[in-house]
Amino acid sequence: MKVIIVGGVAGGATTATRLRRLDEKAEIIMIDRGNHISFANCGLPYYVGDVIKRKEDLLLQTPESFNKRFNIDVRIRQEVIEIKPEEKKVLIKKVDSGEEYEESYDKLVLSPGAEPINPFKNLKSKRIKTLRTVEDSIEIKEYIRNNNIRDVTIIGGGYIGVEMAENLINYPNLSITIVQKGSHLINPIDEDMACFVHRELDKNGVKLILNNSVNEIKETEEKLEIVLENKTIETDFVVLCIGVRAEITLAINSGLKIGEKGILVDEYMQTSNKDIYALGDAVMVKNSITENIGYTPLAGPANRQARIVANNIVGKTSSYEGTIGSSILKIFKYSLAITGLNERMCRVNNINYKTIIISQNSHAGYYPNAKLITIKTLYNDANGEILGAQVWGKEGVDKICDILATAIKMKMTAYDLEKLELCYAPPFSSAKSPVNILGNAIVNQIEGLVDTITWQKTEELKDKEGCCVLDVRTSEEYEKGKCEKSMHIPLDEIRNRIKELDKSKEYLVYCRTGLRSYIACRILKQNGFKVKNITGGYYLYSVINSKK
């Protein structure tokens, strides 16, 4: 059997090595038009920021090492320019010489990846760069250092944009601005959780321009002028992080079925041609929760798809069950982890959902240096099934989100979260893990022990007659900061001062994180009062309002 793999990095290289482990006698040819067959593209921003010191550390394999260990014919700086499905041949062009030749195949694997979106290609300027390859990262690094650059503007506030901002802000005397078309950075999260990201970037000197799309970039003798919707700004250098577009030209020209954003494949990663497979950033796959076909260019799914492709090529039937979009991002001293659906996705797909936000210590509070973790979870109000989560904090974020990702994949409910037996010792967690507490909190809502309300809805209601915001924190906490127009009764005084409250009103109750306010709600509800617990507490309120 002869297999040709188009493209390396996560998808192509993993397919090749899995295939070799399954079939020692297969002829495997891997073709890539770049200089490197396997490199850590997720590490490129950290190389720009000198966190990763040596370029060589990004190179996972060389053509020579690949061939020596796996007996794979690796051909770099060569490009497949045409597929001839009827003949089961590809036309290959050598990048340096322009020489063309044909190669036959039994099975063909397309792993061309995705290219950064650049709407300003007509402006040929060394001051505008995208980030995709090792060479791109070297050019960005060297240009900033060698050309007295003092101001860098990052267009696009997704994962790569935020990572670039974090890494470039450490350059001496360099000012960093992120321009984002939407109302918040990191599109997969909700606006309330994005406030944590905005605050941390602001604290570290990164400027944000939100709700502004870029209409044009002009180059003058010394500067770039960025024409936004409502103003023009000047900068020395631009890094485009708008997003990526699947490399599908080859597939289109070959007559393969194409979706809105990528190549269409079945559950076996097989294209509309039974002898051609595709994977990674080039394909569209099913979302495990909505079951809709979408585009999720992440390294984790690409690696899993590669294993499935190799299995199916040798007749070991395997299927890809879809993705839930689990990811994590370092933002200075904090981490942001995401899995499953956000509120927008639930609304678009008409999914019945509710949200809850809790904040818990990363480990036992009496053990030194516990850090607060904030968890926003979306769940089905009918059965408690977990739909999505966004987790923010300084430690333990990956652990919490991985548990919730597993819960989503296995269609677990809040009742299942309550029952999980997770590791505990004071330096690592609490006897009741934040995940257990999350389950408790959701079950409390489902079973009617408490109803919750968001700060957004609270802001809409607090000035209306019949509504009152009640702060149940201590007097010391209240004096340091409070929600406007809130009345104050500390939790421990609620029972003795209950006559000060009016049963004709609805009380929207908050404490620092939501636990004490839940206790207050239980006291008041059992005494005949209408109450709602404000999810996220004053901690979230202070973050949301930190720039107001």
Q: Can you tell me the distance from the alpha carbon of 300 to that of 155, in angstroms, rounded to the nearest whole number?
A: 25
Q: How confident is the model at residue 548 (pLDDT cuts 50, 70, 90)?
A: low
Would the pLDDT of 478 be above 60?
yes
Written as six digits, the tokens of 13 are 């290289």
SS (H, E, C) 363-406: CCCCCCCCCEEEEEEEECCCCCEEEEEEEEECCCHHHHHHHHHH
Asked if residues 184 and 543 have their Cβ atoms less than 8 Å apart, the reply is: no
Average pLDDT, stretch 211-231?
92
Average pLDDT, stretch 372-398?
96
With a CB cutoff of 8 Å and minimum separation 6, the contacts of 233 are: 153, 177, 179, 209, 225, 226
Q: How confident is the model at residue 547 (pLDDT cuts 50, 70, 90)?
A: low
Strands 114-116 and 128-130: unpaired
Q: Examine the residue annotation and report whether 42 is marked as an active-site residue of this protein.
A: no
Would the pLDDT of 29 be above 90?
yes
Which of helix, strand or coil describes residue 150?
Answer: coil
For every residue of 454-484, DSSP letters joined together read: -HHHHHHHTTSTTEEEEE-S-HHHHHH---T
Q: Which stretch of 50-59, 163-172, 281-290, 398-407 has the lowest confidence by average pLDDT?
A: 50-59
How remote is the C-alpha of 58 from its chain's centroid?
22
Backbone angles phi, psi at 35, to 5 degrees: -90, -15
Q: Can you tell me the distance from the alpha carbon of 438 to that of 221, in angstroms, rounded to the nearest whole number?
A: 57
SS (H, E, C) 278-295: ECHHHEEEEECCCCCEEC
pLDDT computed for residue 121 by the predictor: 84
Strands 38-39 and 59-61: antiparallel
Number of C-beta neighbours around residue 436 at 10 A? 20
Would the pLDDT of 38 be above 80?
no
Tens of pLDDT, residues 83-130 = 999 999 999 999 999 999 999 999 999 999 999 999 998 888 999 999
- Amino acid letter, 137: S
Would the pLDDT of 37 be above 80?
no
Start-end of H helices in 215-336: 249-253, 299-313
Tens of pLDDT, residues 164-219 = 999 999 899 999 999 999 999 999 999 999 999 999 999 999 999 999 999 999 99
Q: How far apart are the first and last CA of the chain?
A: 64
Asked if residues 229 and 212 have their Cβ atoms less than 8 Å apart, the reply is: yes
Would the pLDDT of 511 be above 90?
yes
**Which of the residues 241, 468, 483, 511 is marked catalytic?**
511
Would the pLDDT of 79 be above 90?
yes
Average pLDDT, stretch 406-414?
97
Q: Which stretch of 59-68, 79-88, 368-377, 415-424 has the lowest confidence by average pLDDT?
A: 59-68
The candidate with the shortest Cα–Cα distance to 356, out of 307, 281, 417, 313, is: 417
Q: What is the pTM of this model?
A: 0.93
Written as six digits, the tokens of 31 are 């073709």
Long-range contacts of 520-529 (CB under 8 A, 24+ apart): 520/470, 520/472, 520/491, 520/494, 521/450, 522/449, 522/450, 523/494, 523/495, 523/498, 524/494, 524/498, 525/450, 527/498, 528/503, 529/501, 529/503
Backbone angles phi, psi at 162, to 5 degrees: -70, -40
- Per DSSP (E only), the strands in 502-543 are 506-510, 530-534
Tell me the CA distances in angstroms from 452 to 457, 462, 517, one per residue in order.
10, 15, 10
pLDDT computed for residue 546 by the predictor: 82
- Per DSSP (E only), the strands in 85-213 are 89-94, 100-104, 107-110, 114-116, 128-130, 151-155, 175-179, 207-209
The candidate with the shortest Cα–Cα distance to 107, out of 262, 282, 269, is: 269
Tell me the CA distances in angstroms from 90 to 8, 63, 109, 196, 228, one per residue in order.
17, 21, 11, 49, 44
